Structures are given as structure tokens and as C-alpha cells.
Amino acid sequence: MSVDKKGFKDRVSNVLAWGGCLGFIGSLLFFVNDGLVINRSEETLWGLAVYLGCALINYLMVGRFRLLPWRDIE
């Protein structure tokens, strides 16, 4: 039985990719659930900022933005 060991960078990259994606999806759910653009636009912008910030950190760490977290690092 072979175990594929990933490095620390790969694991942190996975956490950042999924955390950014889930943060953005969560902010969109607040936006859709409330239905008022004025009340939830700030939360949506914060979610987008977290998503793009995590993507930028991933780019600096592993050389890919990883906007879609289910895509593997090449």
C-alpha cells in the first residue's frame, strides 16, 4: 500500500483554496437569501476580497491562483 505524501505547501494551498471558495460562496448565500442588494453588498465584496486574497497567496506559494479548489496542483 503506497501513501502519496504531499508537502506542507500543497496542504496549505488546499486549505487556502477551499477556505477562499467557501467564504465567497457563503457571502453569496447571504446575498441571495436576503434578496436586498443594498443590505448585503458589503458582505459580498468582503467575500470576494477573501476569495481573491486566498488566490493571491496561493499564487505566491505554489505558482497557481487555484480559483477552482477541486483542480489539482500540477
User: pLDDT per residue over 1-33, tens digit each?
Assistant: 444 557 888 888 888 888 888 888 877 777 676
Q: What is the pLDDT of residue 1?
A: 42
Measure the CA–CA gap between 25 and 58, rounded to whole angstroms. Answer: 18
Answer yes or no: is 36 within a domain.
yes
Answer yes or no: is 68 within a domain.
no
Answer yes or no: is 21 within a domain.
yes
Q: How many domains is the chain partitioned into structurally? A: 1
Measure the CA–CA gap between 51 and 8, rounded to whole angstroms. Answer: 21
Answer yes or no: is 37 within a domain.
yes
Q: What is the pTM of this model?
A: 0.70
CA 60 vs. chain centroid, Å, equals 14
Residue 37: domain span: 8-62
DSSP H stretches of helix in 1-74: 8-34, 37-62
